[in-house]
Amino acid sequence: MNVDKKRPDDKLKPGRPPVRAIYRALYRHWGPQHWWPGRTRLEVVVGAILTQNTAWTNVEKAMARLRREKALNLSVLHRVELNTLAEWIRPAGYYNVKARRLRAFTRMVDKEFDGRLERLWKLEDRVLRDTLLRVHGIGPETADSIMLYAAGRPFFVVDAYTRRFLGRHGWITDRATYDEVARWFTDVLPRDVPVYNEYHALIVRLGKTTCRRRPLCDRCPLKRWLPESGDGG
């Protein structure tokens, strides 16, 4: 399929994408991923910010340091010197930027919710997502990770792994927006937190195992949908 021949506004392949069949193929191949990126809701938020532009293994090192410093609570994260916070999260990379982003989040909770996270989680879906998106350094992917994994709301997370495999199969183009890619899944799937959770975790597994920078299509459960096979769904 030559995606370049498509109209500029035709960024998603028309027709019914094989969203459910892909899920079944991934699940059959790798099984449940038991993925929950954090022990508490706050840890999920911290992890979602720290994982920007870095591997999760580096995030784990930064989280371990925060745990040693007994800093995985909102009050410490909000009050500690910014330089100290940056030092604690150094293994996650871009540590000065990420320290400022963490501080922007804690400042928002402090200012708008009296420092009480539980008040933030009480917001209605769209209001909560918009509140997160207003925080400096929180974009749609980070916001939806927090929505899904910390707040338990049905928002599909689109990351680089998602775009990579969809693009390689010609199901999206580079021009597809974040929301358009998310809708590729949510238009078909039920609005269901465990399904969104498992699906995203399986896509991460796919991106780390077979659909890597150099794809290993021969051993990939999605091989049958490669464009060359003439079976796009």
Are the C-beta atoms of residues 11 and 175 closer than 8 Å to each other? yes
124, 125, 127, 132 alpha-carbon torsion, rounded to 10°: 130
Among 215, 227, 228, 233, binds ligand SF4 (CB under 6 A): 215
Which residue of 220, 227, 230, 231 would you call a contact of ligand SF4, by CB under 6 A?
Answer: 220
CA distance 166 to 126: 26
Collapse the DSSP code of 12 into the 3-class scheme (helix H, G, I; strand E, B; otherwise coil) and give the result: strand
CB of 51 to ligand SF4, least distance (A): 22
- Rule CB under 6 A: choose which of 6, 107, 168, 183 binds ligand SF4: 168
Of 169, 175, 199, 231, the residue at the interface with ligand SF4 (CB under 6 A) is: 169
* Rounded least distance, CB 88 to ligand SF4, Å: 36
Q: What is the dihedral of CA 137, 112, 42, 82, to 10 degrees?
A: 60
Among 87, 131, 223, 227, contact with ligand SF4 (rule: CB under 6 A): 223
How far apart (Å, rounded) are the C-alpha atoms in residues 93 and 48?
Answer: 14
**Interface segment toward ligand SF4; rule CB under 6 A; list 29-37, 90-98, 138-146, 165-173:** 165-173
* Min dist. Cβ of residue 159 to ligand SF4 (A): 14
Q: Is 210 in the site for ligand SF4 (CB under 6 A)?
A: yes
Count of residues engaged in binding ligand SF4, rule: CB under 6 A: 13
Residue with tokens 């540590």: 95
- For residues 191 and 154, the answer to whether their CB atoms sit within 8 Å is yes
